[in-house]
């Protein structure tokens, strides 16, 4: 017998091929006025791959895409690997100089860009040390459309499932961004995990509120297609458009960082939905106040946790039906935990400085450690950092947490965000949750501020809800009623919070403000 009849290398692009057969006549992609049935989208991706080959892209080459959540970037998640190349999805909010650095570091030969990013792409190409071919997509000069129309279909088979599928660059807030390498096998399995845990099916409509460039959209570009569901593209994020789609477009699922959900949940347009919407959130712990608010609006929230290095969410707060009988406040407390490994992952650990597991007492803090199929191949062209991040076969996340008796992990802080005041460790997350329980508070970020006596103390940056009022003394008293006195913030600073393109609060910016003051 042939030895290969029982093995097929895993690749997430196989999901589109299947849906093009099984759901050929179903609408798979909606982007404004543009709609693609699954069979047409599959053909388009194959011709997109052929167009890349016509531009000189060979197997193993790097193709970058600078675009919003459009059908162009979605198609690139299939077309680039169909051409045997590696996808580099670029953050749309970084500078042209950062783009140029990534083009050089990744060895990109072709940069496909949306019309809104033409100036950034052009400047990056001028600054790059290597020759990069620019291909416009959309607008009056849609070169990509003409290339696809004249191309033959191309589908390079995947011989090695652990070969390079994508390189995703970290935000680089404190140093140059690192290139995180994804392989086909990891993306395939992670996509299946997301489809299963979020209960996607062929009748689901997934609203693209999460940036597709961020961890390849947590692998949902492949997960949604695996289920035969509908991709509802959202090139620009604003609360009014989100609520219009929630009410008019049959949306069943979306993913977003807690800050995006906060913007949405307390928007003027917000009101209880006629049908439930499944929401996944990660990037920072959602506060119990946010979780309760989403429940009031008819949104069923699932808390996820992960990093770029773990294909996005590698941990899920797997919900148990018996918890539905608990008071809403207790349910919110449980949902604020990060949880357990997703269905394809190895059990999550919380380890001390020696690499030993901490007690399951929900008190002893350690660093969260992860391993398995949904952990990166490593950092591209950075062996030293790769080895340092995985000293014993377990990837160190840099996040501090505790392990509960039931095996659920709870994040307490980033290692760099922990506040050490007079020798005592203070979790910024704990202080933030105390403050967001106040009815006037919309968002909070707590960071360490310098103090002559204690070394450093908690300082809270607070955004109030529209039309709400609260004084700094009132908020400090509110926190002291819920925390040990030394944990309460010593100062409140009101105003909007600086955020990254993926909705994370930039605590490094807030710390700099305090030290520069």
DSSP codes, 253-319: EEEE-HHHHHHHHTSTT----SS-EEEEE-SSPPPHHHHHHHHHTTEEEEEEEEEGGGTEEEEE---
Q: Can you say whether residue 32 is alpha, beta or left, with left for phi > 0 and alpha for psi between -120 and 50 degrees?
A: left
Burial track 326-362 (b if 16+ CB lie within 10 A, e otherwise): eeeeebbebbbbbbbbbebbeebbbbeeeeeebeeee
Element (H, E) at 113: strand 108-114
Give the number of other Cβ atoms within 10 Å of residue 250's Cβ: 14
The answer to whether 89 and 219 have CB atoms below 8 angstroms apart is: no
Question: How many helices and strands, by DSSP H and E, does the chain display?
Answer: 17, 25
User: In the 8-state DSSP scheme, what is residue 357?
Assistant: B
Q: How much is the pLDDT for 517?
A: 64
Q: How much is the pLDDT for 133?
A: 98
What are the two backbone dihedrals, phi and then psi, of residue 303, each rounded to the nearest 5 degrees?
Answer: -90, 125
How does pLDDT run along the chain (517 residues), one tens digit per residue?
A: 566 788 999 999 999 999 999 999 999 999 999 999 999 999 999 999 999 999 999 999 999 999 999 999 999 999 999 999 999 999 998 889 999 999 999 999 999 999 999 999 999 999 999 999 999 998 777 999 999 999 999 999 999 999 999 999 987 545 678 999 999 999 999 999 999 999 999 999 999 999 999 999 999 999 999 999 999 999 999 999 999 999 999 999 999 988 889 889 999 999 999 999 999 998 777 777 888 899 899 999 999 999 999 999 999 999 999 998 998 778 888 888 899 999 999 999 999 999 999 999 999 999 999 999 999 999 999 999 999 999 999 999 999 999 999 999 998 877 778 787 866 678 888 899 899 999 999 999 999 988 877 878 999 999 999 999 999 999 999 999 988 788 899 999 999 999 876 677 888 899 888 877 6
DSSP 433-485: HHHHTSTTEEEEEEEEEEETTTEEEEEEEEEEPTT----HHHHHHHHHTTS-G
Q: How much is the pLDDT for 503?
A: 74
Structure tokens that stand for 113 in this block: 């860009």
Q: How much is the pLDDT for 78?
A: 98
Q: How much is the pLDDT for 175?
A: 64
- Given the DSSP bridges, would you call strands 108-114 and 133-137 parallel, antiparallel or unpaired? parallel
Q: How much is the pLDDT for 176?
A: 79
3-state secondary structure 211-260: CCCCHHHHCHHHHHHHHCCEEECCCCCCHHHHHHHHHHCCCCEEEECHHH
Residues 6+ apart with CB under 8 A from 76: 48, 63, 65, 67, 87, 89, 112
Element (H, E) at 45: helix 38-54
Q: How much is the pLDDT for 233?
A: 98
In terms of Cα–Cα distance, which of 260, 285, 298 is closest to 430?
285
Strand, coil or helix: 320: coil
In terms of Cα–Cα distance, which of 449, 433, 419, 420 is closest to 483?
433
Distance CA 216, CA 511 (A): 30
Distance CA 468, CA 443 (A): 13
Q: How much is the pLDDT for 305?
A: 93
In terms of Cα–Cα distance, which of 135, 151, 165 is closest to 44?
151
Residues 6+ apart with CB under 8 A from 48: 75, 76, 78, 79, 82, 144, 148, 151
The answer to whether 205 and 240 have CB atoms below 8 angstroms apart is: no
Using CA atoms, how far residue 467 sits from 264, 270, 464, in Å, is 16, 15, 8
Whether this model's pTM surpasses 0.85? yes
Distance CA 372, CA 394 (A): 9
DSSP 148-201: HHTPPP--PPPS-TTSEEEEEE---SSSSPPEEEEEHHHHHHHHHHHHHHTT--
Structure tokens that stand for 7 in this block: 């093995």
In terms of Cα–Cα distance, which of 91, 90, 89, 83 is closest to 61?
83
Long-range contacts, stretch 413-420, CB < 8 angstroms, 24+ apart: 414/507, 415/367, 417/447, 417/448, 417/507, 419/446, 419/447, 419/448, 419/456, 419/457, 419/458, 420/448, 420/455, 420/456
Residues 6+ apart with CB under 8 A from 11: 81, 158, 161, 165, 184, 185, 187, 188
Distance CA 119, CA 125 (A): 10
Distance CA 351, CA 60 (A): 38
Burial track 308-318 (b if 16+ CB lie within 10 A, e otherwise): bbbbbbbbbbe
Give the number of other Cβ atoms within 10 Å of residue 105's Cβ: 20
Distance CA 297, CA 249 (A): 17
The answer to whether 112 and 64 have CB atoms below 8 angstroms apart is: yes
Which residues on adjacent β-strands are paired with residue 283?
none
């Amino acid at each position: 017998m042939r030895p290969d009849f029982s093995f097929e290398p895993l690749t997430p692009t196989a999901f589109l091929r299947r849906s093009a057969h099984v759901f050929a006549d179903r609408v798979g992609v909606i982007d404004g006025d543009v709609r693609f049935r699954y069979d047409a989208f599959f053909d388009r991706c194959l011709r997109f791959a052929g167009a890349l080959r016509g531009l000189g892209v060979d197997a193993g080459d790097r193709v970058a895409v600078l675009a919003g959540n459009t059908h162009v970037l979605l198609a690139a998640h299939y077309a680039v690997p169909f051409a045997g190349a590696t996808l580099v999805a670029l953050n749309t909010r970084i500078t042209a100089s950062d783009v140029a650095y990534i083009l050089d570091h990744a060895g990109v030969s072709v940069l496909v860009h949306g019309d809104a990013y033409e100036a950034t792409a052009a400047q990056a190409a001028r600054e790059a040390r290597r020759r990069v071919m620019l291909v416009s997509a959309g607008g009056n000069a849609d070169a990509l459309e003409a290339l696809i129309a004249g191309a033959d279909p191309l589908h390079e088979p995947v011989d090695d499932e652990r070969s390079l599928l994508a390189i995703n660059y970290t935000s680089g807030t404190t140093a140059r961004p690192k290139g995180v390498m994804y392989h086909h096998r990891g993306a395939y399995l992670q996509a299946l995990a997301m489809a299963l845990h979020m209960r996607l099916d062929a009748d689901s409509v997934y609203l693209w509120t999460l940036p597709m460039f961020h961890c390849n959209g947590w692998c949902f570009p492949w997960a949604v297609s695996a289920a035969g569901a509908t991709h509802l593209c959202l090139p620009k994020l604003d609360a009014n458009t989100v609520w219009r789609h929630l009410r008019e477009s049959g949306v069943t699922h979306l993913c977003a960082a807690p800050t995006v959900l906060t913007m949405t949940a307390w928007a003027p347009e917000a009101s209880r939905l006629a049908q439930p919407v499944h929401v996944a959130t990660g990037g920072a712990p959602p506060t119990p106040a946010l979780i309760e608010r989403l429940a009031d609006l008819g949104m069923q929230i699932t808390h996820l946790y992960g990093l770029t290095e773990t294909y996005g969410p590698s941990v899920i707060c797997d919900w148990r039906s018996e918890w539905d009988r608990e008071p809403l406040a207790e349910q919110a407390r449980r949902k604020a935990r990060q949880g357990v490994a997703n269905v394809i992952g190895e059990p999550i650990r919380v380890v001390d400085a020696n690499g030993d597991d901490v007690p399951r007492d929900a008190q002893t803090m350690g660093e969260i450690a992860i391993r398995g199929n949904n952990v990166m191949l490593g950092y591209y062209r950075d062996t030293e950092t790769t080895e340092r991040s995985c000293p014993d076969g377990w990837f160190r996340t840099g996040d501090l947490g505790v392990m509960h008796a039931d095996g659920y992990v709870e994040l307490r802080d980033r290692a760099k965000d922990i506040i050490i005041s007079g020798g005592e460790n203070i979790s910024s997350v704990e202080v933030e949750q105390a403050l967001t329980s106040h009815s006037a508070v919309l968002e909070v970020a707590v960071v360490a501020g310098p103090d002559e006596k204690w070394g450093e103390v908690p300082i809270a940056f607070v955004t109030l809800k529209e039309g709400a009022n609260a004084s700094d003394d009132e908020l400090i008293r509110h926190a002291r009623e819920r925390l040990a006195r030394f944990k309460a913030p010593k100062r409140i600073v009101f105003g909007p919070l600086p955020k990254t393109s993926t909705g994370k609060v930039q605590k490094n910016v807030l710390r700099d403000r305090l030290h520069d003051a």
